[in-house]
Amino acid sequence: MCEIGNLSNTACTQNASGVKGIGYMIPAEEFASWPAYLSTTGAGDTVKLTGNFSLVATSDIGYFRTFPCLLEKGSYTFALVGGLGSKTFEEKYTYYIPGVDAAQLEHIKNLANIPGVWLCPDKNNTVHVLGSKDDPAYVEVVEGTTGAAAADERGITVTVRAVSARPTIYTGTINTTPNT
Amino acid sequence: MLFTITTGTLPADMQVRYEITETIPGGPVVSLIQYGQSSVDFSNLTPAVADALIAGGFPYLRKKAEEAVTPVEQADPPEVEEIPDAGPNDPDNESTAPAERVVKFAKRRH
């Protein structure tokens, strides 16, 4: 049976828009397993993952890579797509990496075709998950520019896309240390 | 090798005051950005960061309860043993001084 409850009107003491200045990604193959959703019945629990991610023990990998995101240039968006009775969540994470130098270009080169999982922390301290171990997200669009005029920006816009049955929130730790 | 974060990962002085309630895979440096800390090194955790994580609702770190202070056991009063005066016919009696007072400390009872 479908379960849908009341949506309470919360006191909006904190509802900041935008995403934080740091994001995370990891190749999907570096997950040892994928956590289940919470089975508790609190509001929002059915879109929250339980516990912490379990990553592979292989040396030098098994950690989330971080990247910067320029202020007011990133966003997490989602839309329900598909026909009537067949809706799917299409999620997108857009972020802007300042610079088009060797380090940024190499990062994009390596990122281009990786099936991965991206974590998008928003300014409200909610960490949105795009992709999963067996249903990963991909880079959809990358646009880089040196800019033309002095007032332009010089950097790379990356858009990641995931398609899934439901949105996902992560509340655990984000390991940023490679295995020894 | 996969590292894990336990109470033993914390600095020695922090292990006395805080504990990890559940083993955390990875680390010792992790990001807890949803709790306001983009980078936390649990092997060098400070009280300020620990308290901030707890205040932010991080579920795997807990402050240990203040240990009850054990009151210092009071020493028993010294036990005084009177030695009777030696009799005048005692061959070992070389003096007529009054009886000596020997003070013994009672053994502490546990």
Nearest by CB: B34 against A52, A125, A180: A125
Tell me the three-class secondary structure of A13-78, residue by residue: CCCCCCECCEEEEEEHHHEEECCCECCCCCCCHHHEECCCCEECCCCCCCCCEEEECCCCCCEEEE
Q: B53 lies in a domain? A: yes
How confident is the model over B55-108, as pLDDT tens digits? 999 999 999 887 644 455 555 655 655 555 555 555 555 544 444 454 445 455
Q: A163 lies in a domain? A: yes
Q: What is the dihedral of CA A103, A104, A106, A109, to 10 degrees?
A: 170
pLDDT the model gives residue A6: 84
User: Which residues, including other chains, have CB under 8 Å from residue B48's CB and lie 6 or more apart?
Assistant: none
ipTM tops 0.85: yes
- CA terminus-to-terminus distance, chain B: 49
pLDDT the model gives residue A43: 87
What does pLDDT average to over chain A? 94
Q: B55 lies in a domain? A: yes
Out of A152-161, B26-35, B78-87, the most confident range is A152-161
Chain A residue with minimum CA distance to B57: A171
Segments forming the whole domain that contains residue A98: 22-170
A155-164/A138-145 β-pairing = antiparallel
Contacts of B32 in chain A (CB under 8 A): 173-174
Chain B residue with minimum CA distance to A172: B32
Residue B51 above 80 pLDDT? yes
Segments forming the whole domain that contains residue B33: 4-63
- For range B16-27, the mean pLDDT: 93
**pTM attached to this predicted model:** 0.81
Q: B77 lies in a domain? A: no
Q: A57–B2: do the CB atoms touch at under 8 Å?
A: yes
Q: B28 lies in a domain? A: yes
Which band of pLDDT confidence, cut at 50, 70 and 90, is reported for residue B110? very low
Which band of pLDDT confidence, cut at 50, 70 and 90, is reported for residue B6? very high
Q: A11 lies in a domain? A: no
Domains held by chain A: number = 1
Q: A175–B60: do the CB atoms touch at under 8 Å?
A: no
A22-27/A65-68 β-pairing = antiparallel
**H or E segment at A110?**
helix A102-111
Q: A55–B27: do the CB atoms touch at under 8 Å?
A: no
Give the position of tokens 């990133």. A74
User: Which residues, including other chains, have CB under 8 Å from residue B16's CB and lie 6 or more apart?
Assistant: B64
How confident is the model over A19-53, as pLDDT tens digits? 999 999 999 999 999 999 999 888 899 999 998 99
- Residues of chain A contacting B, Cβ within 8 Å: 20, 22, 24, 52-57, 59, 62-64, 66, 121, 125-127, 170-171, 173-177, 179-180
User: Which residues, including other chains, have CB under 8 Å from residue B96's CB and lie 6 or more apart?
Assistant: none
Q: B33–A63: do the CB atoms touch at under 8 Å?
A: no
Residue A32, token pair as written in the block: 């040892």
Contacts of A56 in chain B (CB under 8 A): 2
Q: B86 lies in a domain? A: no
User: Which residues, including other chains, have CB under 8 Å from residue A65's CB and lie 6 or more apart?
Assistant: A24, A25, A26
- Percentage, residues of chain A above pLDDT 70: 99
Domains held by chain B: number = 1
